Amino acid sequence: MVLVLAIILLPARPAPADVDAQGELSSELRTFKPDRSNLTEDYGFAVSSRLELGKKHGPWQEQFRAFVRLDALDHNRTIAQLEEGFVGLKLGPVRIRVGAQLVTWTATEALHPADIINSRNFDSDIEDLEKIGEPMVEVRIRLFKGYLSALYMPVRVPPHQPTATSRLSLAPPGVELGDALWVGRNGEITDHAFENQGALHLSQSLGPVDVAIHLVQHNDRLEPTAGFDAMTGEVRPVYQMVTQVGGTYSQVVGSWVLKAEGVYRKFVAPDPGNPYGVTPQLDHGSVALGAEYAWTTDSGHAATVFAEGEAMLGVNEKQRATISPFQRDLLFGYRHQLNDVKGRQVTAAFGVDLDRPDEYLGLLKYEQRVSDEWTVELALRSLRNAFFNGSINQGQLVVTRYF
């Protein structure tokens, strides 16, 4: 609670002259079409704040960014999380950072099989889940037309799972998930937070082409399984050790942008005699392909259409349906920017599961500036997916002041 109040109140205090300070303070109204269940919350009204502080002096850099949300109606949605908190040192072509960071490895608009480093807050916007800072030591070296990064991640950070009262909960109605369990390299299941994890990432820009390849070994947080704790009677999310190899690609061809991501994921099988009844996560591959086309209208507006598809490989239809909400999906979208002083923008997207065409995701979002400091965003979402408890129809209004 002290951290929450500090982040909300600090914007009122001027930062030192040599510190780059910025942030935002938002009011958010979130409502779902009522599901006639006393177990879930259909309405939320929250105040949130994000504070970012940065300082550079010589080869040194310090960066801090934290986010908090206080919900007056859905108290279980209140959260405080560190997004960035690191010290950096730059020596010629070498950059070293120690502390929590946000890492983005992706080329596509909505489907991101390669972007796996950070844990997420699963009780946030479905199409753009909030990321949680990952504690790490990163050494980045400039190499050719890009860079090579080596990451050491000694702490396992669990995702923020929605509670049983959330309409976005992945657990059956009324089931509250317990604390995280982790599968180590030897298959042993533990609740210990510390583990040696690492990654390599090579990125290159070759004219109009951007390519990257990566190798990661860590505890996966995006495709958990479940275990039952007989001592407490809880269902606990289980995050298994995975080795992932993959890459991303994007290329500009005239008014087109072509995109691709591909990965293969091999999991460590948990000890067959484990007391939680945890079964192995299935090894599989995942490929996402996308394209977008942009043009300027006669009235000076910017218009973009985009399409993406994702397929899970190496598993059959029944198996992939148990791994992720998104297994074999096709998504189409349109974005219209008026390019006016208010920065008005409309985005519409619709995705469908090709395995189960009755499952879909629809999004309609409007954004604009009210002044130099204020913005407003209105979003409507409709989701039907077997991972969630029935259909979800959601409206959201967010008013933000930047400082």
Q: Which domain holds residue 350?
A: 2-11+20-402
pLDDT of residue 228: 94
CA distance 96 to 100: 13
Q: In sequence order, what are the beta bridge partners of 325?
A: none
Mean predicted lDDT score pLDDT of the chain: 92
- Tally of domains in the chain: 1
Secondary structure of 151-174 in HEC code, one letter for each residue: EEEEECCCCECCCCCCCCCCCCCC
Q: The tokens of 211 are what? A: 């390519």
Which of 14-18, 160-164, 285-289, 291-295 is least confident?
14-18
Checking if the pLDDT of 1 tops 60, the result is: no
Beta pairing partners, 206? 209
pLDDT of residue 282: 96
Model-level pTM?
Answer: 0.90
pLDDT band with cut points at 50, 70 and 90 for residue 17: low
**Picking from 47-61, 88-102, 317-331, which range would have the lowest pLDDT averaged per residue?**
317-331
Residue 397 has pLDDT above 50, yes or no: yes
- The amino acid occupying position 66 is A
Is pLDDT larger for residue 67 or for residue 13? Answer: 67
Residue 147: CATH number of its domain: 2.40.160.10
Render pLDDT for 236-251 as a digit per residue (tens, 0 to 9).
999 999 999 999 999 9
How confident is the model at residue 390, as a pLDDT?
Answer: 76
Query: What are 315-358's pLDDT values in tens digits?
Result: 999 999 899 888 899 999 999 999 999 999 999 999 999 999 99
Share of the chain above pLDDT 70, in %: 96
